[in-house]
Amino acid sequence: MTESAFIHRFEPATSAGSPPLLLLHGTGGDENDLLGLGKMISPGSALLSPRGRVLEHGMPRFFRRLAEGVFDEEDVRRRARELGDFVTEARQRYGIAAPVAVGFSNGANIAAALLLLKPDALAGAILLRAMVPLSDSPKAELGGKPVLLLSGQADPIVPASNSAQLAALLSQAGASVTHKVLPAGHQLSQADVTLARDWIGNVAAEAA
């Protein structure tokens, strides 16, 4: 792989009918964080799990921020393109189809940016506690790509208006968006796992 390569884990598929997943951790996580979640929501899927290349007080992230909820948008764009290049290289190396991103928090935000900046990199996305990644969003053409957006009603980090704005933005770009607001905070709940598993099962069935 080139210099754009990320430290990552790859686990090959054990079921031919399960879509590959791109697992994108939250702040302070690493390439091991979401492997268990990936196996819970889509048993049998190939799992591609990179580690964010930006450090904030020693904690890995996928892009820089200026303050809580305030993103360095130039960095968001650069890092999303780097991640898209990595996905392209990994697909060739491991022989997988375009993955469905499964991102939590910072990982969900970079997944949303990737959908808007390099839509061909992903087959769809599960965005867990995501925010609008770019105030000046590019005009993407998502052509019906399936997106599941799961927000927390009591999330202290992501305002309800922001997640609703993201759902509208992706819908306007042509994505097929399912947005659910759960009785939860910023952390994940069992409801997130159940909804994500059911949703990706439907996506896999429709693809078949």
Please pick, among 33, 85, 155, 192, the residue that the annotation labels catalytic: 155
The string of DSSP codes covering 110-121 is: HHHHHHHH-GGG
Pair of tokens at residue 128: 């867990």
Alpha-carbon dihedral sign for residues 104, 105, 110, 112: positive
Distance CA 10, CA 100 (A): 14
Could you say which of 4, 8, 176, 186 is catalytic?
Answer: 186
Active site annotation includes 105: yes
Angle between helices 106-117 and 73-94 (to 10 degrees): 80
Question: Of residues 105, 137, 151, 163, which has the active-site annotation?
Answer: 105
Strands (E) in the chain, as ranges, are: 8-11, 21-24, 47-50, 54-56, 59-61, 65-67, 70-71, 100-104, 124-128, 146-152, 176-182
- Is position 171 annotated as part of the catalytic site? no
Which residue do the tokens 């839509």 mark?
119
Can 186 be counted among the known catalytic residues? yes
Residues labelled catalytic: 105, 155, 186
